[in-house]
Structure 1
Amino acid sequence: MPLSHRSLCSTFTATAASALLASPALATPPEPRQDQVAGWFRMQVDQHQVTALYDGFVDIDTALLSGLDQQEIRQRLNHLFIDSENGVQTAVNAFLVHTGDHLVLVDAGSAACFGPTMGHVPENLRASGYTPEDVDTLLMTHLHPDHVCGITDSNGQAIYPNAELRVSQADADYWLSEEQAAAAPEEMQGFFSMAREAVAPYQESGRVTTFQSGDQLLEGLTVVDSVGHTPGHVSFLFQGDNDEILVWGDVVHSYGVQFANPSVAIEFDSDQQQAVDSRRAILANAAETGHWVAGAHMPFPGIGHVLSDGEGYRWLPVEYGPVIRD
């Protein structure tokens, strides 16, 4: 005798329930992963292909910022949803620029000079499709250890064996001088020794040259004066036919504070007033011309535009997309 519709449904439900009860329990997911994607980002700026390389981050205490009341600094950061309780996360970036004829690395990160949150430029450079051997020109915005230590490994060997190292004359005269180091405060002694040790293998092989602000180092590459953070701090302007990008080193350390109020300085500035003057001039020019900016301590990838905003400025970060748009 054929089963009724109700009987068929009952039979199917019972069978399905038995199968479900008999099957093993669903497995729990694996533990959450802590690794991140490779730290590189590539874009085209006219004929220059720019690859941002993430070295890592450091937490900066807001007490290092001056020129504004600490309560106002914290209020500004809180307004931007930036937690400053245990220090403000500040990225450390380097920038690889393919000019067509040269592969240029601007700054190199910190290598082994700082703790485990930094020192990742070489691995991210490889992940981006290049090798340290491909780099032919190393440009230093200045010789602080989070920019220059990354040119040399923990064994004192050059990480970029085929590159010429180029630094400003003023920074070389200061940071590579044993006399200047001896006259500096004790807490600054390590900065001098780390700079000298990083540069040493390039000096030994005759691959260090100096320049002045205003010099044209390569075709379409000009040194821009941004002195103040260090005695010879500079930025680099890569110019094309229709677009350009300024790699500005340490013009800004805390984008959440110093864009809105460029008069805020940081303790690491050699000459705070001069650093403030340079920041004002560079931000004003970037906002007026609309050129791209790449900053060593801007949130990764550190590339974007500067926009005027009342008496201050604001940051418009680059949008993720294809390297070349149709």
Structure 2
Amino acid sequence: MSLNNIASQPKANVREDNNLRFSTTGAEELVPSRYALKVGEIDVLVVSDGVLPLPTTMLAHNADPDVRATWLDDMFLPPDTFDWSLNVIVARSGEQTILIDAGLGLDPDLSLPRAGQLIKRLEAAGIDLATVTDVVLTHMHMDHVGGLLIDGVKERLRPDLRIHVAAAEVEFWASPDFSHTAMPPGFPDALRATAKRFVEEYRSYLQPFEQEVEVAPGVVAYRTGGHTPGHSMVHLTSGSEGLTFAGDAIFAVGFEQPDWYNGFEHDPEEAARVRLRLLRELAATGELLVATHLPFPSLGRVAVDGDAFRWVPVFWDY
């Protein structure tokens, strides 16, 4: 879908030409893979890195299997494996271009041909990697740092690039503890190896922060913990508008069942507390939410639904 194909009348929060200073050059795909919006004066582009097929048990390993199966059936999802979306944000605030997370990358050993699409999709959107001034990592799982490990990518980045990540996250991956996770075989080793390689290759670029950092005007990264010890979210605010990129704090099942544990969570009890706090805040403010693994374009709001919550996706704006 071209960003130029829009109605002639301006719409709230979207530029009249909907280009948002992002080009539309490059070959088009048969699937939508980028979605542009405005948060006040901040240009935002949600970019799909593709999809990652994972066992459905990863959604809720502490839930009764029959209850989990019922939820999947109610959502018309397959019982055993389904595709997790992989979403990334590019934000432009002032003179800075910020990449929030970097996707999975292209590891041939993973055999995941529908994931690791970020770099080519940035190119299709006319975003030159050399224009990226800052990268924010919500955490260092391989589906959030792998795009920076693709051959040839590092050479295209500017030498003064700043990579913002919580200090606790870097410290954790020096000797990670997987005792509270519930991952399929092979995942811990792959995560450990990718994080180690990432730190080795990008150590001089890292800008560790303790609790929060203002990356650019209106763009603040802040540590939440839970999913990983240094897991962070990013809040974008300009004027009266706001958007939270929640990383892996929330998954599709988490609105109705916020106390269900995800298999990748290193501290599932704390992750559930982080999730509840986030959902309550967003339900109260009405601000926009984007998360890594919500269905693309992963843009919507949170409503209270009895004792739980409800995901309210935005209507696509063309």
TM-score interval, normalised by the smaller of the two chains: 0.7 to 0.9
In the alignment, is the contact (CA less than 8 A) between 2:104 and 2:146 conserved in 1?
A: yes
Shift of 1:101: 1.9
Change (3 A) 1:71 1:153: same
Change (3 A) 1:66 1:169: same
Identify the match of residue 257 of structure 2 among 251, 254, 261: 261
Alignment of 1:93-108 (within 5 A): 93-108=87-102
Structure 2: runs of 5 or more not aligned: 1-28, 180-184
- Bigger Rg, structure 1 or 2: 1
SS at match of 1:215: strand
Alignment of 1:135-150 (within 5 A): 135-150=132-147
Change (3 A) 1:39 1:224: same
Shift of 1:320: 1.6
1:143, 1:266 → 2: CA distance?
16
Determine if the alignment matches structure 1 residue 91 to structure 2 residue 85. yes
1:319, 1:202 → 2: CA distance?
39
2:163, 2:284 → 1: CA distance?
32
In the alignment, is the contact (CA less than 8 A) between 1:49 and 1:98 conserved in 2?
A: yes
Partner of 1:57: 51
Calculate the TM-score normalised by the size of structure 2.
Answer: 0.82
2:178, 2:241 → 1: CA distance?
42
In the alignment, is the contact (CA less than 8 A) between 2:101 and 2:144 conserved in 1?
A: yes
Summarize deviations over 1:239-291 as a string: whole Å, max 9, x none. 111101111100123x1x22101000111100010000100000110111111
Change (3 A) 1:47 1:224: same
1:184, 1:309 → 2: CA distance?
34
SS at match of 1:283: helix
Aligned length: 279
Change (3 A) 1:50 1:156: closer
Partner of 1:121: 118
Shift of 1:39: 1.1
Partner of 1:231: 229
SS at match of 1:112: coil
Q: Give the letter aligned to residue 202 of structure 2.
A: Y
Partner of 2:70: 75
1:184, 1:156 → 2: CA distance?
30
Q: Give the letter aligned to residue 52 of structure 1.
A: V
In the alignment, is the contact (CA less than 8 A) between 1:151 and 1:158 conserved in 2?
A: no
Summarize deviations over 1:114-140 as a string: whole Å, max 9, x none. 421211011111112211111110000
- Which deviates more from structure 2 when the two are superposed, residues 66-75 or residues 156-165? 156-165
1:156, 1:225 → 2: CA distance?
27
Shift of 1:196: 2.2
Shift of 1:59: 1.9
Q: Give the letter aligned to residue 97 of structure 2.
A: L
Partner of 1:191: 191
Shift of 1:38: 5.0
Partner of 1:221: 219
Alignment of 1:149-298 (within 5 A): 149-154=146-151, 157-158=154-155, 160-162=157-159, 163-175=161-173, 177=174, 180-181=175-176, 187=186, 188-203=188-203, 206-253=204-251, 255=252, 257-298=253-294
In the alignment, is the contact (CA less than 8 A) between 1:226 and 1:279 conserved in 2?
A: no
In the alignment, is the contact (CA less than 8 A) between 1:110 and 1:149 conserved in 2?
A: yes
In the alignment, is the contact (CA less than 8 A) between 1:54 and 1:93 conserved in 2?
A: yes
- Which deviates more from structure 2 when the two are superposed, residues 311-320 or residues 210-219? 210-219
Change (3 A) 1:131 1:248: same
In the alignment, is the contact (CA less than 8 A) between 1:38 and 1:127 conserved in 2?
A: no
Summarize deviations over 1:23-60 as a string: whole Å, max 9, x none. xxxxxxxxxxxx62351111111111110111111122
Summarize deviations over 1:103-156 as a string: whole Å, max 9, x none. 000001011234212110111111122111111100000000000111121368
Shift of 1:88: 2.2
1:160, 1:315 → 2: CA distance?
36
In the alignment, is the contact (CA less than 8 A) between 1:139 and 1:166 conserved in 2?
A: yes
Structure number having the greater helix percentage:
1
Partner of 1:3: none
1:161, 1:146 → 2: CA distance?
22
In the alignment, is the contact (CA less than 8 A) between 2:72 and 2:78 conserved in 1?
A: yes
Aligned-CA RMSD value: 2.0
Structure 1: runs of 5 or more not aligned: 1-34
Q: Give the letter aligned to residue 237 of structure 2.
A: Q
Q: Give the letter aligned to residue 294 of structure 1.
A: V
SS at match of 1:275: helix
In the alignment, is the contact (CA less than 8 A) between 1:77 and 1:84 conserved in 2?
A: yes
